[in-house]
């Protein structure tokens, strides 16, 4: 990477490295390391492992000190939701992290710069690099600048709640059976489809959901089923 590219990424994340080797390591995928042994001393998996722990701690610390005094269960579910691949890859795309990665030819040709798993890992590695270079403060600042609004939205909407998992756990315990989801109807154009899904337990319909995706419709159906159980 050129000095200009270093500065460009640093400006995007709001942190400038004292030791650029940390940033270079965070951006180096193992495919590049194996194909270019004379151009890379290491790759980003150790920093990724470190960054994963830093990210989890920052999120839990933020939740812990909120006035709501969330339970351990809520904090765990919220953290689990926020550190999943889909969220981290979205954050990576927001800061255009994929543009700066050092990839091997194989990864480059198979769209590595847009792969969710690769982008999620790279963000954690970047966070680990910031922690190594500047300590906890800058790492915390980056996480909160990128995640705070998302955390607040998730808490308000309770989007972290996994109704499908809760329903499956209940039905296994009560009926020794797992829910079955059936698509009843699909409507709308290809990019604006609306799905109607029913959920059955031991052959009996217990809930119906309508959503813009199968997952959303299934979640709503599971939520309705759980409401019936509680009543």
b/e map 194-221, b = 16+ CB within 10 Å: ebbbbbbbeeeebbebebeeeeebbbbb
Tokens matching residue 185: 């109807």
Angle at 175 between CA 186 and CA 220, to 5 degrees: 30
Catalytic, 90? Answer no
Can you read off the two tokens belonging to residue 55? 């990210």
- Partners of residue 185 on adjacent β-strands: 196
DSSP 8-class letter at 95: T
Please give the DSSP secondary-structure letter assigned to residue 9.
H
Pairing state of beta strands 180-187 and 194-201?
antiparallel
Given 25, 52, 107, 121, which residue is catalytic? 52
CA geometry: angle at 150 spanning 148 and 154, to 5°? 120
Could you tell me the two tokens for 91? 């954050």
Conformation bin of residue 161: beta by default, left when phi > 0, alpha when psi is -120 to 50: beta
Tell me if residue 218 is catalytic. Answer: no
Question: Catalytic residue among 48, 107, 121, 124, which?
Answer: 124
The residues assigned a catalytic role are 52, 124
């Amino acid at each position: 990477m050129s000095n200009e590219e270093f500065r460009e990424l640093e400006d995007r994340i709001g942190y400038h490295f004292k030791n650029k080797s940390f940033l270079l390591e965070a951006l180096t995928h193992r495919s590049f390391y194996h194909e270019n042994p004379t151009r890379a001393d290491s790759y980003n998996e150790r920093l990724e492992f470190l960054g994963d722990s830093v990210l989890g701690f920052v999120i839990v610390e933020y939740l812990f000190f909120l006035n709501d005094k969330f339970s351990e269960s809520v904090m765990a579910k919220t953290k689990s939701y926020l550190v999943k691949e889909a969220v981290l890859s979205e954050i990576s795309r927001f800061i255009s992290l994929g543009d700066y990665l050092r990839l091997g030819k194989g990864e480059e040709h198979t769209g590595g710069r847009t792969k969710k798993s690769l982008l999620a890992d790279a963000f954690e590695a970047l966070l680990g690099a910031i922690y190594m270079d500047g300590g906890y403060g800058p790492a915390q600042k980056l996480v909160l600048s990128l995640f705070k609004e998302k955390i607040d939205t998730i808490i308000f909407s309770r989007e972290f709640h996994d109704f499908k998992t809760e329903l499956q756990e209940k039905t296994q315990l009560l009926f020794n059976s797992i829910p079955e989801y059936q698509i009843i109807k699909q409507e709308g154009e290809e990019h604006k489809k609306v799905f109607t899904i029913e959920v059955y337990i031991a052959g009996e319909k217990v809930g119906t959901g309508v959503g813009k995706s199968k997952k959303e419709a299934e979640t709503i159906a599971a939520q309705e089923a759980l409401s019936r159980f509680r009543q």
